[in-house]
Copies of this chain bind each other. A is one copy, B any other.
């Protein structure tokens, strides 16, 4: 595969952009990888060298219905033609809030931002305002955006004070959580977690039986606000919020990524008990009232329901994973697919370890299946049986190509 144009433009980018490609997109860039897209459609994109890819990253989550979805992009375009960012709010703000309140289990209200971190940061503020407490408890390796409180200690530009009120417990460890709640009894404002554990670089983990109901009980007892960050998993497990599938009720639920199918919008939804605290918190942004992305979100929610998206994505993911595991087995490799089926994290266990796995992923990308070696993937409604078959074939060829 030729990525000459991508690599040349990347060199140009480095002159005017720190790192060339900054942020989370930057980690995927290698000496041979595609760096820039030319166009995207359905579950595919074409890079600027003309190579076509089955895209299993879905823009790191936003794309859930397919790129250039006519109903979603049409709704956004129609709203933008009427007005996008204006000195007043648009009625679609209310429509979208009502839609989320109807759809998300336990949601009595909604507020909007752009990135997932807008919602998670606002959630923590609402929890602090409601409880008058200061500590945040999170899960080791959990990621809730790049705001100060979520920076990894020691990150350039962050300070020790950023992390001083953030405590951390292992995933699936109710005893550790109880210890932290006891140690800081009366001082913990909230526990924030993804519905299941999807860190980077390591196997993803589902909740153990009884984990979430135990956590819910512990939080209620300790007066701790329970926040679920459903930004990454939202709508790929259950259209009513992933907590619905896992049978528990958070106080605050954060959505983003898939909510606008590529149009920039994030939401915080919450219970009536926290509405007053949410009213008191000052958190806003110039672009929080963009009406186009709100119209896109309403259309996305409609299409998600119409296509029974979560079940369909789960089914597609199960088949994708089973096929890839079979291909790996046929080459004598032990490929593990962890996390929920619609957001698989892959790792080849045993011989060669991470290095061999990374070589295999690179060989897949080179052949037109866009995968990442260190991150969960995303399945969409737009992926087809043909995409599955092409991906299995590519995986097969990739194993052959990297065999010694």
A87: shortest Cβ distance to chain B, in Å?
Answer: 4
Contact of A88 among B47, B86, B231 (CB under 8 A): B47
A36 to B36 alpha-carbon distance, docked (Å): 39
- The answer to whether A319 has its CB under 8 Å from any CB of chain B is no
Interface segment among A144-152, A174-182, A387-395: the answer is A144-152
Contact of A82 among B39, B81, B279 (CB under 8 A): B39
Cβ B282 vs Cβ A19 within 8 A: no
B residues in contact with A9, CB < 8 Å: 91, 94
- The answer to whether A155 has its CB under 8 Å from any CB of chain B is yes
- The answer to whether A48 has its CB under 8 Å from any CB of chain B is yes
B residues in contact with A126, CB < 8 Å: 157
Interface flags, A159-174, vs B, CB<8A=1, else 0: 1010011000000000
Cβ A83 vs Cβ B39 within 8 A: yes
Number of interface residues of A (CB under 8 A): 110
A125 to B114 alpha-carbon distance, docked (Å): 20
A216: shortest Cβ distance to chain B, in Å?
Answer: 23
Cβ A86 vs Cβ B67 within 8 A: yes
- The answer to whether A230 has its CB under 8 Å from any CB of chain B is no
A257 to B39 alpha-carbon distance, docked (Å): 27
Cβ B37 vs Cβ A125 within 8 A: no
Interface segment among A197-205, A206-214, A242-250, A283-291: the answer is A283-291
A223: shortest Cβ distance to chain B, in Å?
Answer: 16
Cβ A161 vs Cβ B165 within 8 A: yes
B residues in contact with A34, CB < 8 Å: 88
A290: shortest Cβ distance to chain B, in Å?
Answer: 5
A350: shortest Cβ distance to chain B, in Å?
Answer: 29
B residues in contact with A45, CB < 8 Å: 83, 86-88
- The answer to whether A23 has its CB under 8 Å from any CB of chain B is yes
Interface segment among A52-60, A301-309, A328-336: the answer is A52-60
A84 to B, closest residue via Cβ = B262
A36: shortest Cβ distance to chain B, in Å?
Answer: 5
A159 to B283 alpha-carbon distance, docked (Å): 14
Interface segment among A10-18, A310-318, A340-348: the answer is A10-18
B residues in contact with A58, CB < 8 Å: 87
A97 to B22 alpha-carbon distance, docked (Å): 12
Cβ B36 vs Cβ A90 within 8 A: yes
Given contacts A17-B111, A87-B37, A148-B121, contact A264 B280 (CB under 8 A): no
Cβ B286 vs Cβ A62 within 8 A: yes
B residues in contact with A68, CB < 8 Å: 81, 83
- The answer to whether A402 has its CB under 8 Å from any CB of chain B is no
B residues in contact with A111, CB < 8 Å: 17-18, 22
Interface hub of A148, A156, A157, A284 (most chain B Cβ within 10 A): A157
Known contacts A15-B109, A127-B157, then 17 further A-B pairs from the complex at CB < 8 Å, ordered by chain A residue: A9-B94, A13-B93, A16-B94, A17-B111, A18-B276, A21-B93, A25-B284, A45-B83, A45-B88, A60-B286, A67-B83, A67-B86, A124-B157, A126-B157, A128-B156, A157-B282, A264-B264
23 sample A-B contacts, Cβ–Cβ < 8 Å, listed by A number = A9-B94, A15-B109, A18-B279, A21-B89, A23-B285, A23-B288, A37-B83, A48-B91, A59-B85, A59-B286, A59-B289, A68-B83, A114-B115, A114-B285, A121-B147, A128-B159, A146-B285, A147-B147, A148-B148, A152-B282, A156-B277, A157-B281, A157-B283
Closest 8 CB pairs of A and B: A125-B157, A23-B284, A115-B285, A40-B83, A264-B287, A129-B156, A18-B278, A85-B262
